[in-house]
Amino acid sequence: MKTVLITGVLGQDGPYLAKFLLEKDYKVYGLIRRYTNPNFSNLDYLGIADKIEYIQGDLTDESSLMNIIKTIRPDEVYNLAAQSFVGSSWNQSKLTTEINSLGVLYLLNAIKLFSPITKFYQASTSEMFGNSSIDGLQNEETPFHPRSPYAISKLYAYWITNNFKESYGTFCCNGILFNHESPIRGKEFVTRKITDGVARIKLGLGDKIRLGNLDSQRDWGFAGDYVEAMYLIMQQESPDNFIISTGETHSVRDFCEAAFNYVGIKDWEKYIVLDPQFKRPAELFALKGKSDKAKNVLGWEPKVKFKELVEMMVDADLARLKNK
Ligand code: NAP
Ligand code: G4F
C-alpha cells in the first residue's frame, strides 16, 4: 500500500485529492494545524473525514515537518497548504511568505534529510504569470511577472522546488494550476461568493452581492478534475512541471450571469454592488492556460465545462441553505 502525506487536507483541493487517492488504495495522512475546533466540513462533504489519519503540524514550524517526514516516510507528498487568498496577501504579506515560501523549503529539507525517496508535488499557480502572456495564453514557456505578495511567495516555492530537483535529484514537480472551483470552495473566492449570494437571493435570504469588479477574466475549471492531474504528474518516470487549465476564459460578469440565469433571474445586475474594498492594489486582468503538454504527456483533459461548474456550485449552495 502506498502512503501519501497531503498538506492542506482541510481546504478545497485536499479533500478531493484525498478521496481520489483513497479510491486508489493509498494510506492517506493529512497534515492539520493545531486547532481548538478543527473544521472537517469539506472532508465530511465528500464523506471521507473518518478515512484519513491526521497528523498535527504547521508549515511554519520546521521541526514539526521534520518529525512527520522522519516518522511516516511517505511515498508521495502533495503540498497543498498555503495562505491561498490573493486578496489577503497584501495585508498579511509576511505570514503569506512564511507559509507559502519558507514552508516549502522546510518540507523539501525534511525530505532531503529523512526520506529522499519521497516524491514531492508543489501546488504552483497561474498567479505567477501576472498579466504576462504569449498571444493571450499562458503555457510552460510564458515568462513570470507576479503581481501580488501571494504570487511572489509562490514563485519562490516554484523555484526552490525546481532547485531541489536540480541540486539533489529529489523527485519534485510543480503543477501550475489555473483557477479551479467546486461546491467546497472557500466563500471568500469570487465564484463561491457569487453562487452563495445567488442562492441566498433566490431563497429570499439575501438581497445584494458586493464585488470588487466584474471585468477580471479567469480560466475556471473543476477541482475534482484537477486533482487527477496532480496524481498523474507524480506518476511520470521523471519529475516535470505542467500547466493545468481548461483553455477557456470567462469574466466575473459571465459567472454572475450564468449563476443568476440558472435560478431564473434575468435582471441580475440590480443585485450587484461594486464595492472598492474588494478591489486589489494590483490586478490580473485575464488568465487563459494552454495545457497541451498535460494532454500529450499525461493524457489529461478537463471534463467539467464552465456552465456545468457554475450550476453544480449553485445547486450545492441552494441545497445547503435549504437544509439549514
Ligand atoms: P485552500 O482551500 O485555501 O486550502 C489551503 C489549506 O492550507 C487549508 O486547509 C489551510 O488550513 C492550510 N494551511 C494554511 N496555512 C497552513 C500552515 N501554516 N500549516 C499547515 N496548513 C496550512 O486552498 P485550495 O484552493 O485547496 O488550494 C490548494 C493549493 O493550491 C494552495 O496551495 C493554493 O495556493 C494552490 N492553488 C490553488 C488554486 C485554486 O484555484 N484553487 C489554483 C492554483 C494553485 P486551515 O484549514 O487550517 O486553514
Ligand atoms: O476568486 P479570486 O479571489 O481568485 P484569484 O485571485 O484568481 O486566486 C485564486 O486562483 C489562483 C490561481 O490563478 C490561486 F493561485 C489562488 O490561490 C486562488 O485560488 O478572484 C478572481 C478574480 C480576481 O480578479 C478578483 O479581483 O475575481 C476578482 N473579483 C472581483 N470581485 C473578486 C471580487 N474576487 C474576490 N475574491 N472577491 C470579490 O468581491
pLDDT tens digits, one per residue of 87-116: 999 999 999 999 999 999 999 999 999 999
Atom of ligand 2 nearest to the CA of 211: 39
Residue 146 has pLDDT above 90, yes or no: yes
The domain of 130 spans 3-180+220-244
Residue 45 pLDDT: 98
Tell me, in angstroms, the distance from the centre of ligand 2 to residue 181's CA. Answer: 11
Regarding whether 208 and 142 lie in a shared domain, the answer is no
pLDDT digit string (tens) for 185-205?
999 999 999 999 999 999 999
- Ligand sitting nearest the alpha carbon of 281: 2
Atom of ligand 2 nearest to the CA of 278: 39
Q: Are residues 117 and 201 in the same domain?
A: no
Q: Are 174 and 160 in contact (CB under 8 A)?
A: no
> Are 39 and 159 part of one and the same domain?
yes
Q: Are residues 91 and 49 in the same domain?
A: yes
Residue 174 lies in a domain: yes
Report the nearest-CA residue for atom 4 of ligand 1: 11
Ligand 2 centre from 72 Cα, in Å? 35
Q: Which residues contact 124 (CB under 8 A, 6 or more apart)?
A: 154, 157, 158, 161, 174, 175, 176, 177, 241
Cα→Cα distances 91→85, 94, 157, 173, 211, Å: 11, 9, 20, 30, 19
Active site residue 127: yes
The answer to whether residue 292 sits within a structural domain is no
Starting from the CA of residue 12, give the closest ligand: 1
Closest ligand to the CA of 14:
1
- Report CA(108)–ligand 2 centroid distance (Å): 28
Indicate if 240 and 257 belong to the same structural domain: no
How far is the C-alpha of 228 from the C-alpha of 240, rounded, in Å? 16
Which atom of ligand 1 has the smallest separation from the CA of 14?
A: 26
Ligand 1 is surrounded, with C-beta below 6 A, by 7-8, 10-14, 31, 33, 58-60, 80-84, 99, 123, 125, 177, 179-180, 186
- The ligand 2 atom at the shortest distance from the C-alpha of residue 86 is 6
Please tell me whether residues 120 and 197 are part of one structural domain. no
- CB atoms inside a 10 Å sphere around CB 102: 17
Atom of ligand 2 at shortest distance to CA of 126? 13
- Indicate if 98 and 207 belong to the same structural domain: no
DSSP state of 186: -
Residue 294 maps to a domain: no
Q: Please check whether residue 196 is in contact with residue 209, taking contact to mean a CB–CB distance below 8 angstroms.
A: no
CA of 134 to the centre of ligand 2 (A): 22
Asked if the structure places residue 274 within a domain, the reply is: yes
Q: Looking at residues 153-160, what average pLDDT do you find?
A: 99
Which are the contacts of 97, defined by CB distance < 8 A and separation ≥ 6? Answer: 149, 152, 153, 156
User: Residue 171 — very low, low, confident or very high, per pLDDT cuts 50/70/90?
Assistant: very high
Assess whether 209 and 79 both reside in one domain: no
Q: Of 26, 97, 121, 127, which residue is the catalytic one?
A: 127
What per-residue confidence (pLDDT) applies to 228?
A: 98
pLDDT reading at 324 higher than 90: no
Render pLDDT for 290-308 as a digit per residue (tens, 0 to 9): 999 999 999 999 999 999 9
How far apart (Å, rounded) are the C-alpha atoms in residues 178 and 162?
19
- Separation of 83 CA from ligand 1 center, angstroms? 6
Does 298 reside within a domain?
Answer: no
- The ligand whose atoms approach the alpha carbon of 8 most closely is 1
Number of separate domains in the chain: 2
Q: Is 117 exposed, middle or buried (0-12, 13-18, 19+ CB in 10 A)?
A: exposed
Q: Are residues 53 and 163 in the same domain?
A: yes
Options 106, 121, 150, 231, the catalytic residue: 150
Whether residues 277 and 229 fall in one domain: no
Asked if residues 317 and 196 have their Cβ atoms less than 8 Å apart, the reply is yes
Q: CB under 6 Å to ligand 2: residues?
A: 84, 86-87, 125-127, 178-179, 188-191, 193, 211-213, 216, 218, 252, 278, 280, 283-284, 287
Distance from residue 105's CA to the centre of ligand 1 (Å): 16
Does 231 reside within a domain? Answer: yes
161 and 28 both lie in a single domain: yes
CA of 163: how far to CAs of 124, 166, 170, 174, in Å? 14, 5, 9, 11
Q: What is the pLDDT of residue 49?
A: 98
What pLDDT, in 10s, does the model give residues 110-145? 999 999 999 999 999 999 999 999 999 999 999 999
Distance set, CA 87 to CA 14, 83, 148, 224, 321 (Å): 21, 10, 8, 24, 26
